[in-house]
Structure 1
Amino acid sequence: MTRGACLTIAALAALTLVSLWTGAASVDVTRAWQDPGAAMILMESRLPRTLAVMLTGAALAVAGVLIQALVRNRFVGPDTVGTSESAALGLLLVTLWAPGAPIWAKIAVAAITAMAGTALFMAVIRRLPVREVMLVPIAGLVLSGVIGAVVTFIAWQADLMQYIGTWLMTGEFSGIVAGRYEFLWIAGGAAALAFFAADRFAILSLGDQVATGLGLRRAGVMRLGLVVIGIVSAMVVTTVGMIPFVGLVVPNIVARLMGDNLRQTLPVVALGGAALLMACDILARTLVHPFEIPVGTVMGFAGAGIFLWLLYRRPAHG
């Protein structure tokens, strides 16, 4: 195990303990084995929330690595290329056309539209000049804005604006209790699936000609990446809403410190995403205690600062 992985695990373990102790209710969780009330709060609220934060952060960070590998650009993430907005569009359409559909059906539609939105972004950037690297994230932001505008217009016409606020503008875990986060395990499983194809994604990130020369089936790897990104985005948007910057800044930090060996860095990326989002969630619960700030707001401020730091700091690796 690398030194970076050990440090990230230690940080995540410490943040997990702090998260279990942090909450609006003043409860000593160390006495959960004696106090039934404390045990109920720990098992029904604080532990599910902590697990939800970990799964969300890890899955979004891995999805960020994959989309950066697919488009060969480090300035994109699941929240900047229209993926999350496309997942929200799928949820909105199934809410309009089949309001009584079970949650698994809504998530399936959201995953399909998220994959379609990501594929549309990839089709758009293939028409851009190869040397104009900054046009790729700009195109992603434009596409995100267009899809988001379509979602908002449809929701406004159908009087469903409250749903849009939940899916695209909130990004918070205050409503997470036992029974309301378990679908995030699917997102975690999809992210773990990427580890078994890490070498293929690393080869794909070198370019189409290199990948073809090494005998890689590019289309199959692309489809796998789209499936993982779509499932992660659908699960996260459906359960907690859109959370910015995790899939953008964490892969960049790890790549600067450890390089581009995805087989080695993917576990650290997942742990780093979980730790970063956990830290932001703890801040969201404590800054205006006993009230709570949406974690997406805290992550927005923190992620923007980290991203600017990454832009102006020279790489430490190599």
Structure 2
Amino acid sequence: MISLHVGVYDIYKDDGGMKMLFLTRIPRTIALLLTGAAMSISGLVMQTLTQNKMVEPTTTGTIEWASLGLLLVSVIFPAPTITMKIIACIVFSFVGTMIFFVLLSRIRLKSSMLVPIIGMMMSAVISAFVNFLALEFQASQIVSNWFVGSFSGIQKGRYEYLFLIIIMTFLIYLYANKLAVASLGKDIAKTLGVNYNRVVLIGTAFISLTVGIVAAVIGNLPFLDLIVPNLISLIRGDHLKENLPYVALAGMATITLCDILSRILIAPFEVPVSLILGTVGCIVFMMILLRERKRGTHGA
């Protein structure tokens, strides 16, 4: 309700206020709720599969791979449709996430902190390649606009693709127990009758579909999928299926609050919601790193 009533227009007094309500305010609020749930759940799934609290699409290069797909489809097709952008983001997100999982399976890690470091190294390489291509094809503005994740452009006719997230959330809930078993490792999963490779592949597809849809419609939303699963895990433990509803609701609340702040701080203008998420996410990420380091020190 607060989100619906925050903005330049007074929906009750200004001319066209009610039209603005149905054209932008309601679509924007629905997009906030769906995006918050989707990104938070995708972060939870990725953390479950890797058994690492510092892993999510922002720290594994998935977002950068999605930006590569978006850039390429924009270069090949001068005026790509939103459907074409979504497909490109999904495909490249899937490829990038699978490469990350393959790297993890082939590298012996002595510390959990090395996992996000590997992801960030890979994301830096992909980001540099994206910037090179953007400069080469004079498409820097496309990348710059995409990395400034914002809901200001959401209106009727643009956000409807996000409803696919509801289907993805339902499928993840049904598949949650197998994802949890796969997180125990390949040998244990095989002992329990679960095809590890297939589960990881399906889990990666869930993450890629979710991230791809959000990336194409909204843009880059850093650290949301890191903050929420970790906070819920601290409160409720690490049970994937039981935590899914709480993670979804907390994700909705977090991004809606950040978006309301983005509209209030310098009203009547807006701060990109990605700026607020990035600031809060960096702080939480540092706290998690320090906590993991402390736990590792005590363990040693």
TM, length-normalised to structure 1: 0.87
Contact 2:61–2:126 at 8 Å: present in 1 too? yes
| Correspondence for 2:140 among 158, 161, 165 | 161
| Correspondence for 2:175 among 185, 190, 197 | 197
The one-letter code matched in structure 1 to 2:203 is G
SS in 2 for 1:79: helix
Contact 1:72–1:207 at 8 Å: present in 2 too? no
2:266 pairs with 1:282? no
The one-letter code matched in structure 1 to 2:247 is V
2:273 pairs with 1:295? yes
Identity across aligned pairs (percent)?
A: 38
| Correspondence for 1:90 among 64, 69, 72 | 69
The one-letter code matched in structure 2 to 1:53 is L
Aligned twin of 1:4: none
| Correspondence for 2:9 among 22, 25, 30 | 25
Q: 1:105 Cα deviation (Å)?
A: 2.7
Q: Distance in 2 between matches of 1:185 and 1:95?
A: 24
Q: 1:311 Cα deviation (Å)?
A: 4.8
Which stretches in structure 2 are left out of the alignment for 5+ residues? 296-300
1:195-234 paired onto structure 2 within 5 Å: 195-234=173-212
Q: 1:201 Cα deviation (Å)?
A: 1.1
1:1-318 paired onto structure 2 within 5 Å: 17-28=1-12, 37-167=16-146, 169-311=147-289
Contact 1:63–1:191 at 8 Å: present in 2 too? no
Alpha-carbon displacement from aligned partner over 1:297-317 (angstroms, at most 9, x marks no partner)? 0111122223344455699xx
Number of residue pairs the alignment of both structures matches: 293
User: Which shows bigger deviation, 174-183 or 200-209?
Assistant: 200-209
The one-letter code matched in structure 1 to 2:273 is V
Which stretches in structure 1 are left out of the alignment for 5+ residues? 1-16
Contact 1:64–1:248 at 8 Å: present in 2 too? yes
The one-letter code matched in structure 2 to 1:26 is D
- CA shift in 2, pair 1:100/1:21, >3 Å: closer
The one-letter code matched in structure 1 to 2:11 is V
The one-letter code matched in structure 1 to 2:120 is L
Aligned twin of 2:298: none
The one-letter code matched in structure 2 to 1:24 is V
TM, length-normalised to structure 2: 0.92
Alpha-carbon displacement from aligned partner over 1:226-274 (angstroms, at most 9, x marks no partner)? 1111111111111111101111111111111111211110111111111
Q: Distance in 1 between matches of 2:64 and 2:119?
A: 11
SS in 2 for 1:288: coil
Q: 1:81 Cα deviation (Å)?
A: 0.7
Contact 1:128–1:135 at 8 Å: present in 2 too? no
- CA shift in 2, pair 1:68/1:282, >3 Å: same
Q: Distance in 2 between matches of 1:307 and 1:145?
A: 18
Contact 1:81–1:140 at 8 Å: present in 2 too? yes
Q: Distance in 1 between matches of 2:181 and 2:135?
A: 44
Q: 1:180 Cα deviation (Å)?
A: 1.1
Q: 1:277 Cα deviation (Å)?
A: 0.5
Q: 1:68 Cα deviation (Å)?
A: 1.1
Contact 2:57–2:63 at 8 Å: present in 1 too? yes
